[in-house]
Amino acid sequence: MINTLYLPELREMLAENDSAGLREFCTALHPARTAEFMEGLSPEEAWGVLDHADLNLQGEILSYFEYHKQAEMLEARPPESVAPVVATMSADDQVDLLGEVEEETAEQILACFSVDDRRDVLRLSNYEEGTAGAIMTTEMARLSENLTAREALKELTEQAEHLETIYYLYVVDDFGSLHGVVSTRDIVSALSKPQMHLSEIMETEVIHANVLDDQEDVLRKMADYDLLAIPVVDEELRLVGIITHDDILDVVVEEAAEDAYRAAAVEPLEETYLRTSVLTLSRKRGVWLAVLFVGAFLTTFALEQFEADLARIPWLVIFIPLVISTGGNSGNQSATLVITALNKGEASVRDWWIIMRRELAMGLILGLIMAFMGMLLALFKSPTPYSALVVPATLVLVVIAGTLIGSMLPLIFKKIGLDPALMSNPFVAGLIDLFGIVIYLKVALLLLE
C-alpha cells in the first residue's frame, strides 16, 4: 500500500537539488502524510529529502514510516549521522526501533547518545515484553509541589518541547516519590488564583501502574478511569515513567488481533501478514493444525467402534457431518460469548453456575429448533418416520453438549490460570466432533435396535 502520487516530483526535485521545494514538502503536510508519500523512495533518496527538514521534524516523519522501513533508513547512513535523529524520539519508540536493526548498528547508535538518554533506553529495554515497563516512556513532566500555578506553567514552557505529553503533570518529592497529579486544565483553571500552590490543587489519590504490571491490566485501569495517561512507579513507589493513550491504543489493537488469531488456532504474528514469510506462517499454523489433527485422530477410533453398525444401517452415515458441525457451531458461539465476557471483565469464574444454567437453557432452546429442522430433513432421507427420530433426538443432545463444553472449558482454563482464549474455536469444535459422533450412534442404536 505505497502511495506513489508524488514520487516522480520528489525524484525530480532530488535530481535538481531543489532545496526550497523539498523543504516545502517536508513542512507543508502532517508528518504522517509526508511519511506516506515517501514510502516508495529508497533509503538514500528518503534521507536526501529529510536533509531539508530540521532534526525534530526528521525524527517525527521517520517515526511514521513502517518499522522495517525505519530500520532500513538507520542502516543506510553511518551511526553518528542517524543518532541525532533517533535521539529526538521518545525513549519507548527508541527501544522499539533499535530492536528492529542489527544489534551492532543499535550499539553504535546508542554509543552516540548522551549518557542519560542511553541509560533510559537500556533501562526500558530490560523490561519484559507485555509489562507496563516495556511500553512506558520516561519523558514526563515532574513538578515540585511548592510551585504556584503560574510558576508551574513557566516551568512547563521550558520543558514542553521535550515531553511526549503535558496533559497530566506529576508532582514528586525530593526522593522522586509520586505525591500527586495535576492536569494542564487544572493549572489553567487555577491561573486566576495566583497564590495557590500545586500541593493545594493536585489530586493526591493517584491511579498508577507498577513497572511489572501486565499491559492488559494497565489498559483496563486506564479505560475504567478514563485516563489519558497513567504514571508508572517502581517497587519503591518512585515515578519512573508514563504510559500515554497512543501506547495503549496500540496495545488494544494488538491484543484484539491476538485474540482473533488464537480463536482460529494461529500463533500470533510479530509482523504484518504480508511481511511474514510463507515459511514462518506455515510454522505458526502448522503447529496448531497438527495438534488439532492428532485430536481429530480420536474421531477415527470412535467411528471404528461403530463400523459394523454403520454397515448394517448405512443411511446413518449421511447425517454425520450435519450433526457434528451443528454441535461444533453452538459450542463456538458459547465459547466466544464466555471468552469475550471474561476479557471485558463482564463475568468471572465465580459466575460459573449462572453461566452453566443459562447455557443449558439456551442449549435446550437452540437444540429444539435444530431438532425441528433436522426432523423435516430426516423424514425425506431415512427409511421410516420412526427411524428419522434419531436425527432430532441427537441434535438436542449434541447442541446441549456444545453449549456446555463451549462455555465451561474457557472458565476451567481461566480457573487453572491459563488464557481462556487458548480454548479456541477449533479445539471446542474438535472435542464436540468426538462427543457428537458417540452421542449420535449411541442414540441410533438405542432407538433402532
Are 382 and 391 within 8 A, CB to CB?
Answer: yes
Q: Is 401 exposed, middle or buried (0-12, 13-18, 19+ CB in 10 A)?
A: buried
* Residue of the chain from 55, 111, 207, 446 that contacts its own copies (CB under 8 A): 207
User: Does residue 409 belong to the site contacting its own copies (CB under 8 A)?
Assistant: no
Q: Which is nearer to its own copies, 370 or 405 (CB)?
A: 370
Among positions 106-165, residues that touch its own copies (CB under 8 A) are 153-154, 156-157, 160-161
User: Does residue 261 belong to the site contacting its own copies (CB under 8 A)?
Assistant: yes
Find the shortest distance in angstroms from Cβ 439 to its own copies: 13
* Residue of the chain from 99, 194, 321, 385 that contacts its own copies (CB under 8 A): 321
Task: List C-alpha distances in Å: 433 to 233, 350, 362, 440.
Answer: 49, 28, 20, 10
* Residue of the chain from 111, 122, 257, 418 that contacts its own copies (CB under 8 A): 257
Among positions 34-93, residues that touch its own copies (CB under 8 A) are none
Cα 119–chain centre separation: 28
User: Does residue 373 belong to the site contacting its own copies (CB under 8 A)?
Assistant: yes
Find the shortest distance in angstroms from Cβ 434 to its own copies: 8
* Residue of the chain from 433, 435, 439, 444 that contacts its own copies (CB under 8 A): 433
SS (H, E, C) the chain: CCCCCCHHHHHHHHHCCCHHHHHHHHHHCCHHHHHHHHCCCCHHHHHHHHCCCCHHHHHHHHHCCCHHHHHHHHHHCCHHHHHHHHHCCCHHHHHHHHCCCCHHHHHHHHHCCCHHHHHHHHHHHCCCCCEHHHHCECCCCEEECCCEHHHHHHHHHHHHHHCCCCCEEEEECCCCEEEEEEEHHHHHHHCCCCCCEHHHHCECCCCCEECCCEHHHHHHHHHHCCCCEEEEECCCCEEEEEEEHHHHHHHHHHHHHHHHHHHCCCCCCCCCCCCCCHHHHHHHHHHHHHHHHHHHHHHHHHHHHCHHHHHHCHHHHHHHHHHHHHHHHHHHHHHHHHHHHHHCCCCCHHHHHHHHHHHHHHHHHHHHHHHHHHHHHHHHHCCCHHHHCHHHHHHHHHHHHHHHHHHHHHHHHHHCCCCHHHCCHHHHHHHHHHHHHHHHHHHHHHHHC
Find the shortest distance in angstroms from Cβ 238 to its own copies: 22
Q: Which is nearer to its own copies, 106 or 362 (CB)?
A: 362
Find the shortest distance in angstroms from Cβ 272 to its own copies: 4
Find the shortest distance in angstroms from Cβ 105 to its own copies: 26
Find the shortest distance in angstroms from Cβ 370 to its own copies: 6
Task: Indicate the Cα dihedral angle 184, 188, 193, 199, nearest 10°.
Answer: 0
* Residue of the chain from 246, 383, 442, 446 that contacts its own copies (CB under 8 A): 246
* Residue of the chain from 8, 225, 353, 416 that contacts its own copies (CB under 8 A): 225
Find the shortest distance in angstroms from Cβ 87 to its own copies: 19
* Residue of the chain from 11, 45, 340, 356 that contacts its own copies (CB under 8 A): 340
Among positions 281-320, residues that touch its own copies (CB under 8 A) are 281-282, 285-286, 288-290, 292-294, 296-297, 299-300, 303-304, 307, 310-311, 314-315, 317-320
> Of 106-114, 120-128, 259-267, 441-449, which part binds its own copies (CB under 8 A)?
259-267
> Of 69-77, 109-117, 120-128, 257-265, which part binds its own copies (CB under 8 A)?
257-265
User: Does residue 216 belong to the site contacting its own copies (CB under 8 A)?
Assistant: no
User: Does residue 437 belong to the site contacting its own copies (CB under 8 A)?
Assistant: yes
The interface mask with its own copies, positions 174-203, x = CB under 8 A, is: ----------xx--xx-xx----------x
Q: Which is nearer to its own copies, 79 or 328 (CB)?
A: 328
Q: Which is nearer to its own copies, 109 or 171 (CB)?
A: 171
The interface mask with its own copies, positions 10-39, x = CB under 8 A, is: ------------------xxx-x-------
Number of residues counted as binding its own copies (CB under 8 A): 115
* Residue of the chain from 329, 401, 405, 441 that contacts its own copies (CB under 8 A): 329
Are 48 and 17 within 8 A, CB to CB?
Answer: no
